[in-house]
Every structure is written in structure tokens, then in C-alpha cells.
Structure 1
Amino acid sequence: MSQKYLNAFSVPISILTGALLVSAPSKSFADQLYFNFDNDVIIGADGDYSNGVVVGWLATPATDFSQAPALFKWQSVIAFPQESSQSQWGGQFYHRMWTPTEIAYDYPQPNERPYAGLLELESFTGQFSSSLAQKNWLSIGVMGPASFADELQTIVHKITGSTTPKGWDYQIENQVTFQFAYEVDALLNRWQAFDNSEWDISVFNHTMAGNFRSQSSVGLTLRWGDDLAETFGQLSSQAGHMGDYASYANRYGSWQAYFRMQAGYRFNDLTIEGDLPYDSPLNIENQQAQASLGVIWAFPTWSVSWSFNYYSKEYESDVDDWHGYGVISYTKVL
């Protein structure tokens, strides 16, 4: 990759990185660190959404945003006024990649999903109560060779002995991305289960807009476990987002299992519609559906979660109607 590309696409991310670091005082910076790993190895194949890595932080929950750094205080005004019991903010780096099903070919595959890599820096604010939650995210990123997806996948596959990817010369070309996302969750009912556990059911809307993807979805969440009122709204349809469970866990540990499903309409998708060095006949699939099933264990100083995620095909001519990947997450309170 030429130095020209690195200079052109690293400047916007560097600016936002600096803003996050400068605006975050030591009191609120890295109160929790978290790591997410997405991979489709659970279904035994590469292809479509292939891999994701997240490194992020969350500030300790507060009663409002009065003590938040300026960047997050400004971002918090995007939400509608609500009677919130907790406010929170944070940021993350997120690297993702998409590939065709067969990655051993060293030539274009016009009828398959193209190679695409995305590196993003994202800021987050949220307001939470036991029955209503609002969250929003702002992100800037780069898609294309400047995301270093080629180099990352090649190294990982060499270490693991997996198939060497040979088609990254034909990936989506460099483009800076800008995204905004908003999500609201509303409780329908919560009731006592057995052995001091609870059930609850809620509805949500997740909407994102930007040149990477624009989509609006509605969905339903069913949870079973401990501390459901305290952790309401921590689950999210925002890719890579890690909720806060350790702050509300009891000394003996808390747990919950969940099922989440949604359906929506997608307006654009840069991983399919972006510029390519060859002609591609693919059209995005506007009708979208997703479902996830997961478990979370949390203690006052750490938490871990695992989920399996299904999503419907993202371009019309995809021969597979559904794809899947697993996510494992770890949070450490500092």
C-alpha cells in the first residue's frame, strides 16, 4: 500500500482518537476494558462476515453526564429526555472483514461477495433505567486496503494453518466512513421465575445511518437470569458493542441468558456497493433479519459472554439464505 493512502485515510481517525484521549480524564478513562472476538469458525467455513476484533472501554456508570468529558457530554444530547437512573459513555476500536466463500482463488469472483475490510473508531453514550434505555454511537473509519484486513487475515491464517487468502487484491477500494446509530429499548413485562431468577421481555428499535450502512430495524428481546432491572438495555444490536454487567453483579456472580431477534430494511451497504477493480453485478438485499442467542456471566471485577448470531443474506444472488458467526467477549474492571 502506498504512503499516499496511509496519509489520506489515517488523518480523520487520528483526529478522533486524539479527541477521545484528550477529553477522557484519568478518573473516567478505562474504568472497564473489554475485548470482543467475532468469527465464523463456529460454522466451519470462511465467507461473508468472516472476522471481527474489538478493543474498547467503558466509564463507570454515573447518575448523569455532568462529569463526562466534553466529547461525550455533547454526544449525550442526541438522546430524548428521560428519567434515567444511570448514564454511561465509552469508546472502541473495531476491525471487521468480509470475504467470498472461497478465499484460495487469486482472481476476481464477480458473483460472490467481494473482499472488504473496515477499521472504525467509535464513541458511545447511553441512558438507562429499569424499563427504558437509549444509546447512540458516532464512528469514523476507513474501508479498503488502509484497514489492513489483508495483512491481518494472512497472518492469522498462517498461525492457525488455515487456507491462505489470495484475493485481497480485488477488495473494496479505500473510502472513509462516517456512521451514526441510535437504539431505544422499552420493557413490556418482567416477572419472577424460579430460584430467585427473573424473566423479562422488551421491544427495541435500532437505526443506523451513514455511508457504510443505513438500516432501521425493530425487534424483541427475551431474557432470563439475575439483576435484570439493573442491566436493562445493556444488550444491543450495534455490532461490537459490549454492555456493562460487572458494575451490577453481586459478589457471588450474576448470570443471564437471552434471545434477541429483529427485522428491518437496509438502504445501502458499502461492503457490496463500494468501488471495486472489476465489474460486480451484485445488488444488496434490502430486507434483513437477525437473531442471536447468548449467555453472560458477571462478577464485580470481570464478566464474560458468548453468543451465536444468525443473519439473513445481504445480497440478492447469495445462494445461502442465512449465515452465522460466534462472539466471545471479556470485560475487566480496573
Structure 2
Amino acid sequence: MSSRVLLARISLFLALVPASANSGQLNLAWDNDLFTGSDRGYTNGVRLSYLTSTAEASDEGSAQLARTAREGLSFLPGIADANNNHAMSVSLRQLMVTPENISSDEPQFNDIPYAGHLSLSSTLWSWNADSITGYGAHIGVVGPESGAEASQKWVHKITGSERPRGWDNQLGTDVVGGLQAAHGRKLMQLGQNGDLEHQLSIVGSTLLSSFRTTAKTGLIWRMGKQLPMNFVPDYAGTSSTIALPGAFSTSRSSWSVFLGIGLEYVAYSYLEDNAGQYRFRENPFLGQVGIGGAWQRDRFQTVFVLRATTGEEDRNKDNFSFGTLSLSWAL
């Protein structure tokens, strides 16, 4: 048998075998306000994530990494429960913010400054059918080293959008980092697997960081067929990997639609603290709403979400919005 035929048969086998609840996962998530036709505030974010196999799956490979983290962090609430699955996520994330008018090459002191952020984070997740808990840490850089300028210019070039001209005025280089924690719990489940199901869940998270310190809470309603164990769809976008553990249904196909509402309290903002001459002042309370859908076929899953957030700047109460496209592959 030739190697080409063998590879073809392996690929066909992987396509026909449903994803295991214990398998690893690769995810690419893209936030962009071009999805909603605007270009202001949080304008673009990309996250590449890897989720290990569960610690309960085996003693080898990536499962061993999750097992070591589970044992090392067993003192934390919600970790090392004998009835839970445990896995680690590792993410590389880039995000950028820009003023509303990107055609000017002069500083716009009455708006938000240009800023780019690149970070590496890791989180240990513990979950079952009714709850999920995660603890993690991150480190990153703000400034030209983030690569945000090149990324935005490239995206605008391939999409035919206006070229941003003010990146020479972006915030300078700084190292940032911190800790994060998240918890979600299913409040209601209606319907049986294979029939039309409804779920209502509550999610909360906190981020203690020298870039942005926040506390969030929200409610999520989801409806669909063959829903996976994880009851939190990709409502959080690139800000969290809470949607990844248990995200694949054991069925060959599944679909869902969902609606989320939330509230965020901003205790510290690097952008505001380093705004200098800019008149930007962070609004301490942000309301959020998101609506989206998810579709899975075999080992591939895609999620699309549209979001709206109340005015990020305290003086400007206008809402801003963006969309998120998330693509996942079960390994």
C-alpha cells in the first residue's frame, strides 16, 4: 500500500470517527469590528489556542501535562474533583484598539490612543456536565513589539478597508501580566440528548492584570440538538478559553444558537492609566450582549457571534460592536 493511499485512509477514518470528549483541541478565534461595519475602540483580536487531552484520558502525551497541573493546583476550589475532567489550555493572543478616525496620522487627543497587546496565557480547567472552573496566568507586551500595527494593516489590505495611518502614535513598550479565574454553572436543562434542548447558565470571571483588571458576570441561554458537555458557548471570544473544554459533542454533528447578556466592572485600565494627553476615561461599568450560533461536523466546529457593548469611554456613551469567528478542530 502506498503512503498516499495510507494517508487518505487515515484522513477518512478521522473524518468518520466522532470527536472524543477527552481529546485535545486546536482553536483559532478572530474578533473584528469589520463584521459589524465599524472601526472604533476594540477593533481586532486574534487568539490561537491549544487544549490538551484530559488528565483522565491517559498517562502520556499532553494528558500528562494536564495531570501534573491538576495535582499541583489541587488545593484550589473546584480542582481535582474525582468526578471532573481536567485539561490545560495554552493561548497566544493579539489585540488592538484604535480611535474612530483612522485616516488621520496625527494624535487624536479627544479619543482613545492606538495600542497593541500580545500575550501568552495558560489555564487549567476542571469541568463536568453542570459546572466548569478555571485558573490561569498570562504575560504579555504592549507597544510596537505586539505586532498590532502590521496585523491591522494586513487585515485592512486584504479586506479592502481604509488604511490606518496613526500607528506612529501608539502607546510605547511595556511588559504586562497577571492572573485570571473563571467559573460557570448550569442553572437549567430542558430536553433530552437527541431532542431539542434548552440550557440556561451563569458565568463569572475575574482578571487581575497590569493591563486590565476586571470582574464579569453574565447569563447565557442556549438551544440546539446534540449539545456538547460544555454549556458555555464561545460568548467570551478571545478574552477566555472557557468555551474549549468539552466543546465537542460525541455525536457526529450538532448545532446550537445562543444569547448572552453580561455586566463587566473595570477596576483598572492600562489604556486609561497611560493615556497621558488623551482625554480617554474608562467607563467603570460595561453592559454586554451577544447572539450567535455553533455548528459541528465530525471533528470540526465553527462558532459565530455578534456582540454589542455599552460605551467604553466614560464621556462617550455610544455603543460599539464587533463579531467573533471561532474555528476548532478536535485532535
State how far apart, in whole Å, the 2-side matches of 1:195 and 1:333 are.
21
Task: State the SS of the aligned residue for 1:248.
Answer: coil
Which residue in 1 is equivalent to 2:306?
Answer: 308
Amino acid corresponding to residue 45 of structure 1 in structure 2:
S
Pairwise CA RMSD: 2.5
- Of 40, 62, 73, which aligns to 1:47? 40
State how far apart, in whole Å, the 2-side matches of 1:161 and 1:325 are.
18
Amino acid corresponding to residue 244 of structure 2 in structure 1:
G
Distance 1:159 1:255, change over 3 A: closer
Which residue in 1 is equivalent to 2:78?
Answer: 80
Query: Is the CA contact 1:129–1:230 (under 8 Å) kept in the aligned structure 2?
Result: yes
Amino acid corresponding to residue 60 of structure 1 in structure 2:
S
Distance 1:233 1:63, change over 3 A: farther
State how far apart, in whole Å, the 1-side matches of 2:166 and 2:192 are.
52
Instruction: Give how far 1:187 is off.
Output: 1.9
Which residue in 1 is equivalent to 2:254?
Answer: 254
Indicate whether 1:208 and 2:207 are aligned. Answer: yes
Q: Give the TM-score normalised by the residue count of structure 2.
A: 0.82
What is the aligned-residue identity percentage? 25
Distance 1:61 1:258, change over 3 A: farther
State how far apart, in whole Å, the 2-side matches of 1:39 and 1:132 are.
30
Unaligned 5+ residue runs, structure 2?
1-22
Matches within 5 A, 1:72-151: 72-73=69-70, 74=72, 77-81=75-79, 82=81, 84-151=83-150
Task: State the SS of the aligned residue for 1:187.
Answer: strand
State how far apart, in whole Å, the 2-side matches of 1:183 and 1:155 are.
33
Indicate whether 1:68 and 2:67 are aligned. Answer: no
Instruction: Give how far 1:76 is off.
Output: 6.3
Query: Is the CA contact 1:246–1:300 (under 8 Å) kept in the aligned structure 2?
Result: no
Which residue in 2 is equivalent to 1:327?
Answer: 324
Q: Greater CA deviation, 165-174 or 103-112?
A: 165-174
Task: State the SS of the aligned residue for 1:230.
Answer: coil
Q: Give the TM-score normalised by the residue count of structure 1.
A: 0.82
Amino acid corresponding to residue 298 of structure 1 in structure 2:
Q
Indicate whether 1:176 and 2:165 are aligned. Answer: no
Amino acid corresponding to residue 330 of structure 1 in structure 2:
L
Instruction: Give how far 1:47 is off.
Output: 1.2
Distance 1:35 1:194, change over 3 A: closer
- Of 31, 41, 48, which aligns to 1:38? 31
User: Which digits, 9 at most, give the CA deviation of each residue in 1:90-118, with x for residues without a partner?
Assistant: 21111111000011111111110111101
Unaligned 5+ residue runs, structure 1?
1-29
Indicate whether 1:317 and 2:318 are aligned. Answer: no
Which residue in 2 is equivalent to 1:243?
Answer: 244
Amino acid corresponding to residue 332 of structure 1 in structure 2:
W
User: Which digits, 9 at most, give the CA deviation of each residue in 1:279-299, with x for residues without a partner?
Assistant: 122221101121211111123
Which residue in 2 is equivalent to 1:263?
Answer: 263
Instruction: Give how far 1:65 is off.
Output: 9.9
Indicate whether 1:291 and 2:289 are aligned. Answer: yes
Indicate whether 1:272 and 2:272 are aligned. Answer: yes
Amino acid corresponding to residue 266 of structure 1 in structure 2:
V
Q: Which has the higher contact order (CA 8 A, sep 6+)?
A: 2
Instruction: Give how far 1:257 is off.
Output: 1.4
Distance 1:31 1:217, change over 3 A: closer
Instruction: Give how far 1:189 is off.
Output: 1.4
Instruction: Give how far 1:245 is off.
Output: 5.4
State how far apart, in whole Å, the 1-side matches of 2:193 and 2:75 are.
40
Task: State the SS of the aligned residue for 2:150.
Answer: helix
Which residue in 2 is equivalent to 1:59?
Answer: 52
State how far apart, in whole Å, the 2-side matches of 1:211 and 1:84 are.
35
Task: State the SS of the aligned residue for 1:157.
Answer: helix
State how far apart, in whole Å, the 1-side matches of 2:49 and 2:316 are.
33
Query: Is the CA contact 2:142–2:174 (under 8 Å) kept in the aligned structure 1?
Result: yes
Query: Is the CA contact 1:245–1:298 (under 8 Å) kept in the aligned structure 2?
Result: no
State how far apart, in whole Å, the 2-side matches of 1:78 and 1:168 are.
42
State how far apart, in whole Å, the 2-side matches of 1:197 and 1:129 are.
21
Query: Is the CA contact 2:27–2:329 (under 8 Å) kept in the aligned structure 1?
Result: yes
Distance 1:209 1:43, change over 3 A: same
State how far apart, in whole Å, the 2-side matches of 1:120 and 1:38 are.
15
